[in-house]
Amino acid sequence: VQLQASGGGLVQAGGSLRLSCAASGRIISINVMGWYRQAPGKQRELVADITNGGSTNYGDSVNGRFTISRDNAKNTVYLQMNSLEPVDTAVYYCYADRILHQIGEGRTRYGYAYWGQGTLVTVSS
């Protein structure tokens, strides 16, 4: 199972970006998908996550500005970021947890805590 994130870049304050993260592999289902971010010199923090049933959870610093969604058929999670501020500058990492996937003929396994490679978001003032 691999996660591939895309959509980062440079944007002016007040602007918008949309991140995408696609999971690939012999996936049957994914329980939770989401995004963390890490700014220089700071700890990684939760941005938002979403269950396969559509329940969402947001970090306090982004609530109301960011919207997370997912397409279960495509094993893809999206993060729509609006009203971006310079403090949102960070490397954004997608993750997926509790993935049911095939490991052989008729055999399946749950895997936990998969991370994408990170995509840089830079917000200029």
What count of other Cβ atoms lies within 10 Å of the Cβ of residue 123? 19
Convert the pLDDT of each residue in 62-120 to its tens digit.
Answer: 878 999 999 999 999 999 999 999 999 999 999 999 999 999 888 999 999 999 999 99
User: Helix, strand or coil for residue 108?
Assistant: strand
Question: Residue 64's pLDDT is what?
Answer: 87
CA 29 to chain centre: 16
Q: Pick from 27, 30, 32, 21: which is nearest to 116 by CA?
A: 21
Under 8 Å between Cβ of 33 and 23: yes
Give the 3-state secondary structure of residue 19: strand
72 phi/psi in degrees, rounded to 5? -65, -35
Average pLDDT in the chain: 95
